[in-house]
Amino acid sequence: MNIQAPVKVDKAERMRRAREEAYATPLSQFHPGAPRLFQDDTLWPWFERLRKEEPVHYCTNAPIEPYWSVVKYNDIMHVDTNHGIFSSDSTLGGISIRDVPPGYDYPSFIAMDQPRHSAQRKTVSPMFTPQHLDELAKLIRQRSQTVLDNLPRNETFNFVERVSIELTTQMLATLFDFPWEERRKLTRWSDVSTALPKSGIVASAEERRREMDECYAYMSKLWNERVNSAPRNDLLSLMAHNDATRHMDPDNLMGNIILLIVGGNDTTRNTMTGSVLALNENPEQYDKLRANPELIDSMVPEVIRWQTPLAHMRRTALQDTEIGGKHIKKGDRIVMWYVSGNRDEEMFEKPNDFIIDRPRPRTHLSFGFGIHRCVGMRLAELQLKIVWEEMLKRFDRIEVVGEPKRIYSSFIKGYETLPVRIPG
Ligand code: HEM
C-alpha cells in the first residue's frame, strides 16, 4: 500500500484553505451538497457559516435541482418529526438530495409515507428486538475475534477491507441467511445501488443496471425459496410470512431488500472505520479509552455523532409551510443535514471535538427522529461496542499511517480506504 503524508499535517492545510474559501464565497452561491466537499472533508466551514448566517438556505445554483438546506439541530428535529408536512415518498423525489433518478426507483419503506411505511417497517422489526440482539451478540463476538486474530502485525493494511467490510458483511449474511461463501455479493450490491456515475464504483449506468439485475435475480430466487418454506428468523422470511409484505410487487420487494442491505452495511462499516480514525486524531481520547474500557459505552454514540455516516436525509414539502422563518413552498426539496446538526454549537459543547465521555452522548441526530428513525440502531451500536471490546483486549494500538480515502458522496459519508498498522 502506498503510504502518504501523516494525517494531521495534510488536514490542517486543507482546512485552512477550505475556511478561506467558505468565508469568501457569497451565501447565494453556496452548494453545501457538493460531493467534493465530502470527499475532501472540507465541508465543515461551509456548514459552520450557514449555521451562523443562514441556517435555512435555498440553493439554486447547483448542477442539481434547487434545494433547501436545514442545518441547525432544532430545525432538523422539526422537519424529521412532522411527517404529515414533510414527505419521504419516492414518487415525490425520495430521501436523498437528488430526485430518485430513472432506474433507481425501487420503492422501499424508508421512502414511503403512512400508512404503508409503518405496515412494512413492522414486518422486519422483530429482527432487532433486545432478545434477538442478545442472541446475535455471541455470534458477533466470535466473528470479531476471528477477524481480529487474523490481522497482520507490523504491516500496513486497509482497515476498511480487512475489518469494517468483513464484519458488516458477515452480519448482513446472517440477517438475510444469505449463502455464506457468496456474502461479498451483498457488499458489492450495497456499493453499486447507491453509486454515482463519477464515484469510480461503476463505469457506467449500464454496468450499474446489469449488476442490479443480477442482485434482483439472485434475491428473487432466495425469496421464492423462503415464501414456500416454513417461517425462519431472517429478513426475507420475516417479509415473506407477513401479509403486509408477502404480496409486495417485485419492485417494492427489491426496494426493501436494497434498503436493508445498504442500511445494515455502509453505515456501520463507515462508523467502524471512523472510530479508528477519530481515536488516532485524538490520541488523548485513545489513552483514556485504553485506561478505562468501560468508556466504550459512551464512545460508541459519540463516534456515531462524530462520523454521521448518513450525512443527510431529504424530504419534500406537502404544503406551504415555514422553517426558521423562511417560507417553504409545496413541492420544495428540503435537505436535513444531520452532519451539521450534529455539530450545532447551541446544542453540543465543543461540537467539533471528539470526547468519548461526553455527557448525554445519545442526543445526536445520526439515526434520525420520528417515524423513520433507524430500525437497526441498536444492532449497529452492539456491533461497534463488541468490536472495540475485542480490539482493546488484543491490541495496544491500531495506528493510522496515512490519509483515508473518502467516498465521493454527500449522502453516504465514509471511507474507501484507511491504511493502518498494528505494532507487534
Ligand atoms: C433508517 C442511520 C445502521 C436499517 C435510518 C435513517 C438513518 C439511519 C439516518 C433514516 C432516519 C430518518 O429518515 O429519519 C443509521 C446509522 C447506522 C445505521 C447512522 C449505523 C451507525 C443500520 C443497521 C440497519 C439499518 C445496522 C439494519 C440492518 C435501517 C432501516 C431504515 C433505517 C431499515 C428505515 C427505517 C424506516 O424508514 O422506518 N438509518 N443506520 N440501519 N435504517 Fe439505519
Is 108 within the bounds of a domain? Answer: yes
- Vertex 148, ends 283 and 400: CA angle to 5°? 30
Is residue 233 included in any domain, yes or no?
yes
Which residue, judged by its Cα, is nearest atom 7 of ligand 1?
367
109 lines ligand 1 (CB under 6 A): yes
Distances (CA, A) of 153 to 7, 53, 149, 191, 422: 21, 49, 10, 29, 5
Best mutation site among 267, 364, 365, 379 for ligand 1, i.e. most ligand atoms within 8 A of its Cβ? 267
- Alpha-carbon gap, residue 261 to 359, rounded angstroms: 32
80 lines ligand 1 (CB under 6 A): yes
Indicate whether residue 373 lines ligand 1 (CB < 6 A).
yes
Residue 33 belongs to some domain of the structure: yes
Range of the domain at 295: 7-421
Total of domains in the chain: 1
Q: What's the mean pLDDT when you consider all of the chain? A: 93
Report if residue 314 sits inside a domain: yes
Instruction: Output the pLDDT for position 8.
Output: 54
Percent of residues, the chain, with pLDDT higher than 90: 86
164 lines ligand 1 (CB under 6 A): no
pLDDT at residue 264, rounded to an integer:
79
Residue 6 pLDDT more than 70?
Answer: no
Question: What is residue 1's predicted lDDT score, i.e. its pLDDT?
Answer: 43
pLDDT given at position 3: 41
For 342, list phi and psi in degrees, rounded to 5: -75, -10
Residue 4 — pLDDT band, cuts 50, 70, 90?
A: very low
Note the pLDDT tens digit of each residue in 263-309: 878 899 999 999 999 999 999 999 999 999 999 999 999 999 999 99
The whole-number pLDDT of residue 2 equals: 42
Using one digit for the tens of pLDDT, what is the confidence trace for 196-214?
Answer: 666 678 888 888 889 999 9
Would 342 be classed as within a structural domain? yes
Q: What are phi and psi of 421, to 5 degrees?
A: -150, 140
User: Is the CB of residue 260 below 6 angstroms from any atom belonging to ligand 1?
Assistant: yes
Q: Where residue 142 sits, what CATH number does that domain have?
A: 1.10.630.10
Q: Is 263 in the pocket of ligand 1 (CB under 6 A)?
A: yes
At 31-78, the pLDDT tens digits run 999 999 999 999 999 999 999 999 999 999 899 999 999 999 999 999
pLDDT > 70: percent of the chain: 96
In a domain, 300, yes or no: yes
**1 assigned to some structural domain:** no
Residue matched to cell numbers 417485485: 250
Q: Is residue 62 part of a domain?
A: yes
Q: Residue 377 Cα, ligand 1 centroid: separation in angstroms?
A: 6
161 pLDDT more than 90:
yes
Ligand 1 centroid to residue 158 C-alpha, Å: 26
